[in-house]
Structure 1
Amino acid sequence: MVQIVNTEQAEAWNGYEGQHWADNHERYESMNGGFNDRLLDAARIGERDRVLDIGCGNGLTTRLAARRARLGEAVGVDLSVPMLTRARGIAAEEGVENVRFEQGDVQVYPFPEGGFDAAISRFAVMFFADPVAAFGNVARALRPGGHLAFVSMADLGGTDLGTILAAAAEHLPGWQAASEPDRPDPERSGSDRSGPLSLADPDHVRTVLTAAGFQDVTTELVEAEASWGRDAADAAEFFTEWGPVRFNLGGADPGPLREALESALRPFERADAVRLRWNSWLVRAAR
């Protein structure tokens, strides 16, 4: 039986949210994939390494890590059954054999102690229910001197994506735009303040990782460009179907939101797509 303590996230990623990401995996990769190379380079993956991908989702970063560790192995762990199913299917289609995917909660998953040389994560570690405990479990899973590298969302104020999220916030009851890093995530409640911006403060990141058993922690603000759709109308339609947006609409008519988004997105239309630039923190550490 899979042990899960992060029950709210498990519910979301095994419901609409996870299925939407699985069904639209290529589109989500076009939105987040600009950080892939920086992440993998930071992890210093060798050809014989054993790599852990934390919150692997649909498995692209796991497969990319497996290709770098061609004589080793990459293991992706995630809460979401729909996304893991997609990840296994794509790996089989692409013939990536040195990769496997497991359902689990990283905070309590029984990793072999010292079983990995490197651990990576792209926009997943922000959702840990107890980040010190979860990163501590990752530290135990790494060999002494093993590398951790992840990207987490930064304050989006002043970025293209921040502009779009601010436009959306005006039409979503209870929504706090990602340009407001001091606010808890609107989908979370109580003492659990995990969410997209929970690791947006570099000082807090260093405190958490040090408490979890890491050293040599560095943070670097990096920028990437994301494709959000064919044109403003297409991008606005997709945005209104995104899980957090549906949650905060609360059954309200999405029409006004869609119109506001289309207007906000139009200045970012290019010949081939709507393209938005945004920032994230690239974090490195060692066990």
Structure 2
Amino acid sequence: MHGIANTAQAQAWNGYEGAHWAAHQDRWNAVNGGFDRPLLDAAALRAGEHVLDVGCGAGATTRLAARAVGPGRALGLDLSAPMLERARARAADEGVANVSFEHGDAQVHPLAPDSFDVAISRFGVMFFTDPVAAFTNVARALRPGGRVVFLSTAEPEGTEWLRAFGALDDILPLRGFGATGGPGMFSLADAGTATGLLTAAGFHDVRAERVQAYGTWGRDAEDAARFMLESGPGRHLLEQVDADARALAHVRLAERLRRHETPEGLRLRGAGRLLTARRPA
């Protein structure tokens, strides 16, 4: 692995957070997979193209891209060694041969210049300490006229799982939880901020569109509440309170989620910011 600039995020995604996502990759894909269609539709991938997947995680979108561009190739780049291990294993299991993965920080990783037709990301671009450096690095890796299609999280108010956590504000220390400052899941929630950063990195034709999709968080309210509280953000909050408060948080969150139960599972609506741009020709 090459140098790391984003050390705090590297620590998180190679620690508990990354291990949790790697161990539960199918569950996280059930949460986020509703956004695959708008991402790939906007990317308009064509056979023979080369794709860079930024913050690829366990590689679900990288494999989708690889299938779409064959005989072209897809490269997934991520900070998280645990998730990349799962990404490589799943690609091998599924027989996706035109995909590869690299462990690195998109802010500084030495990507071959002028080598990709398109860069995509499903919720992998919100965690940079220096987003302009990361986007500039991605721009250099694109061929002239190459395009980016990034999905980031939109405003917290449009995210039902975060609103559900609001029911715990008298139990858990939620101050700052869901803040729109960066780096973090809502760092690109503001369309003006996101488009400004891409413009500063040298991209043209920068646009931001709000999109929505439903995700499945668990079998029922109890299962979904447990999963949320065992995720990185939930675990961080629980570590700051005693056992009684932890138990109460689970009960309260399950009660709040029960209204979202369906025969297909516990489903919540999320809001995304679809960012598109081009490197100047």
TM-score range, shorter chain: over 0.9
Structure-2 change in CA distance of 1:279 and 1:174 (3 Å)? closer
Runs of 4+ in structure 1 deviating by more than 4 angstroms, as ranges, are none
Question: Quick one: which amino acid aligns to residue 237 of structure 1?
Answer: R
Secondary structure of 2:114's partner?
A: coil
Q: How does 1:128-167 map to 2 (within 5 A)?
A: 128-167=128-167
Equivalent of 1:235 in 211, 216, 224: 224
Q: How does 1:135-214 map to 2 (within 5 A)?
A: 135-178=135-178, 181=180, 184=181, 193-214=182-203
Question: Quick one: which amino acid aligns to residue 60 of structure 1?
Answer: A
Structure-2 change in CA distance of 1:277 and 1:174 (3 Å)? closer
Contact 2:156/2:162, CA 8 A, preserved across alignment: yes
Secondary structure of 1:111's partner?
A: coil
1:80-123 CA-partner distances (Å, limit 9, x unpaired): 11000000000000000000001000000101111100000111
TM-score by length of 1: 0.93
Secondary structure of 2:109's partner?
A: coil
Contact 1:172/1:245, CA 8 A, preserved across alignment: no
The 2-side partners of 1:112 and 1:258 are apart by 47
Structure-2 change in CA distance of 1:121 and 1:169 (3 Å)? farther
> What residue is the counterpart of 1:286 in the other structure?
278
Structure-2 change in CA distance of 1:68 and 1:156 (3 Å)? same
Considering only aligned residues, what root-mean-square deviation do their CA atoms show, in Å?
Answer: 1.3
Residue 165 (structure 1) shift: 2.8
> What residue is the counterpart of 2:69 in the other structure?
69
> What 5-or-longer segments of structure 1 have no aligned partner?
185-192
Contact 2:173/2:240, CA 8 A, preserved across alignment: no
> What 5-or-longer segments of structure 2 have no aligned partner?
none
TM-score by length of 2: 0.95
Q: Greater CA deviation, 162-171 or 209-218?
A: 162-171
Secondary structure of 2:237's partner?
A: helix
Equivalent of 2:236 in 226, 247, 256: 247
Q: How does 1:15-34 map to 2 (within 5 A)?
A: 15-34=15-34
Contact 1:107/1:128, CA 8 A, preserved across alignment: yes
Secondary structure of 2:65's partner?
A: helix
Secondary structure of 2:187's partner?
A: coil
Question: Quick one: which amino acid aligns to residue 205 of structure 1?
Answer: A
